[in-house]
Structure 1
């Protein structure tokens, strides 16, 4: 239990720092896009790049390589987080999972309905206000420090994991291009091989990643957004280690004793000591959980490289409010979906579900705090921008939606912080 709390605390701290870096990258993108370097910025991200794999060619702009390839690694990490939480974390039992699941459903459903209500003729962007940027959201809670209820952070993490799962489903089922069914067989065979590694007890990560690249290629060829390959791969990564903890302890103790018993006067390690260290290293590798190890390795890469790069390449938008007026209903749907839809959905559905005795609110969290988290969850930011690029091709609409996401995320964050500080004082 203590180890789980330490792991969660490290996760939250990394997400908080990532949120700050994301903010810096976003501001830098907006400044550069509106400076004399604006055209060079635009040309850089739209530079075409391609690779050939056998007879299959993939050619995309630099931005799409970031959005499709690097973001697949991000979604791999998201999938690992979802699997871990479902197996051993906050979503591992009905009693723990039911409340954040209901909250997340409300936080996705109501914003989508608000958007659709304002855009009945073109509802395709309904996924934009559904998203929550966990890095920014947790970053704000961490900046408030001890003034925030620790249980609220756990609730937000669990809610965000379910929210991520919802985003994965929406991206996989709604935001796809033309389907090329002939590649389903190729993708299916590769995915079956990945699961075969799991069933055979293979805990080395490298074979999974190699097959994961092939899976990404064929899912991209099918027409489904290629980031889904990351999630599918994550679900197949084993969580069981090859060596039991008790056996690891016993073997390590024995090797440490051998190391100590073979100490001599020579100021370098002898071959007996080297063998002992190598045995410990071998056991260390076998006792680690493959899923947790891969998630740990990807977390830093995602938090401090992939997401900031994504933000810098996608957040640059010309501050021209004429695009907002031309697409006012879309902008209104996004802003109201994030600022009002998120808190109404999260608070409203959980309150209704408790009244109907479907779920039970945690005793250490108040309804006022849940409302505050509802507004904090309205920080869509990078995930909303990601879905914007899937939903629309018109650069004018994309620019307007980005401005809407920035404004809505800022408003939601300010209201959420004020409510959290007010709750703490009351």
Structure 2
């Protein structure tokens, strides 16, 4: 069954969501403890990887962001392709809804921020900060509260977050790029095209796929672009059909192989590296500064209005359709969850307000992103938890011999 793959993942993500949350809490504790200097020093320390003439030197923080997270985006891209070709998103109308919702989810926060910029004097340069949704944290929260909800909601969230992230990458290239190195980028594109052509004709062994991904990743690093974009692009060339009769799908095999590693190693380590924010010397005035308020409300209000409004409009105009088996309350819960904008928002904040990590603008960016993300996560957990309970009837009120309603009925919950 097309949706079975997603159902299997929900079991893993419920546990990995807890691991991710614990890692984030641990980072906040360490960043505000006597070991804070060691923690931040470790993240800033450089580490060199050299294989023959190939030499890369990055900080630990960048190795995690551009190295390990590339594996996460590869897995996400694989699942998106599976759902587009065989699953929930094979219906163009269902694919249109998360794409349009992602666009609305970028326009909404920008509108809220710019409106507040005029009202309370938030710096104009910060408007791109609340536009992004953090895939890792959003999926973690959904994994914790998603029991009883239709699997199509997770696919909707995943697709929306991917489009949102790609939009953020394009925005960074347009607004903050200091120049792209085109030769390595063209090399990465050539490897992708060659891989796509060869994969349609012959069976490629797993070690060759791994080598190909490593080459594309290296060329992307050299080009200066984010590895998340080419990781998703690489996923799109992995074939779904088995190359031999009765064999396994290369794409499904890759998904199952990668998922435990990303769920229990990559994402918790990423959370530990990125969630550490020091509150030393924080004043009440700074905690409610115009920049903090504008970013937080952009994430919390702008995201939910933009995502839900675009999804509802797409359905009303018959351009798109709701996720199968989901009601509007559940879609609204996912819209709230899109306000979790941790990683990419912090990254855009560094670009929008360049300077020291402890500069007033950087502290306010972190406070706004964390505040808006926490508000969104709490509200989303409440709404999705309520929606999940509404789908599960009380066994005590069921009559003997009556099949309880639920996902097996295939009914569209409203």
Report TM bin, short chain: 0.7 to 0.9
1:234 match: 235
Offset of residue 211 of structure 1: 2.0
Residues in 1 aligned to 2:51 and 2:187: alpha-carbon distance in whole angstroms: 14
C-alpha change, 1:104 and 1:124, in structure 2 (3 Å) is: closer
Which of 224, 227, 250 is the equivalent residue of 1:290?
A: 250
Matched, 1:126 2:133: no
Aligned residues: 377
Verify the 8 A CA contact 1:109 1:130 in the aligned structure 2: no
C-alpha change, 1:300 and 1:390, in structure 2 (3 Å) is: farther
Describe the superposition over 1:52-86 as per-residue Cα deviations: whole angstroms up to 9, x where unpaired: 45555321111111111111111111211221121
Verify the 8 A CA contact 1:129 1:334 in the aligned structure 2: no
C-alpha change, 1:234 and 1:418, in structure 2 (3 Å) is: closer
Verify the 8 A CA contact 1:203 1:238 in the aligned structure 2: no
Matched, 1:186 2:203: no
Offset of residue 323 of structure 1: 10
Verify the 8 A CA contact 1:80 1:295 in the aligned structure 2: yes
Residues in 2 aligned to 1:297 and 1:374: alpha-carbon distance in whole angstroms: 30
> Where do residues 36-185 of structure 1 align in structure 2 (5 Å cutoff)?
36-53=34-51, 55-117=53-115, 118=117, 121-123=124-126, 125-126=128-129, 128-132=131-135, 133-142=137-146, 145-146=147-148, 150-151=149-150, 153-172=151-170, 174-175=172-173, 176-185=177-186
2:202 match: 201
Residues in 1 aligned to 2:11 and 2:112: alpha-carbon distance in whole angstroms: 33
- In our comparison, the structure showing a higher alpha carbon Rg is 1
2:405 match: none
Q: In structure 2, the residue corresponding to 1:158 is in which secondary structure? A: helix
2:305 match: 344
Matched, 1:354 2:315: yes
Q: In structure 1, the residue corresponding to 2:56 is in which secondary structure? A: strand
2:269 match: 309
The more displaced of 290-299 and 133-142 is: 133-142
Verify the 8 A CA contact 2:152 2:326 in the aligned structure 1: no
> Where do residues 220-259 of structure 1 align in structure 2 (5 Å cutoff)?
220-244=221-245, 248=246
Residues in 2 aligned to 1:69 and 1:292: alpha-carbon distance in whole angstroms: 22
RMSD: 2.9
Structure 2 unpaired stretches of 5+ = 392-414
Residues in 2 aligned to 1:79 and 1:360: alpha-carbon distance in whole angstroms: 22
C-alpha change, 1:241 and 1:403, in structure 2 (3 Å) is: same
What's the TM-score once normalised by structure 1's chain length?
0.79
Matched, 1:416 2:380: yes
Which of 27, 30, 33 is the equivalent residue of 2:31?
A: 33
Residues in 2 aligned to 1:19 and 1:37: alpha-carbon distance in whole angstroms: 26
C-alpha change, 1:208 and 1:60, in structure 2 (3 Å) is: same
The more displaced of 400-409 and 341-350 is: 400-409
2:398 match: none
The more displaced of 335-344 and 171-180 is: 171-180
Structure 1 unpaired stretches of 5+ = 249-286
Verify the 8 A CA contact 1:346 1:370 in the aligned structure 2: no
What's the TM-score once normalised by structure 2's chain length?
0.81
Q: In structure 2, the residue corresponding to 1:111 is in which secondary structure? A: helix
Offset of residue 331 of structure 1: 2.4
1:219 match: 220
Verify the 8 A CA contact 1:389 1:398 in the aligned structure 2: yes
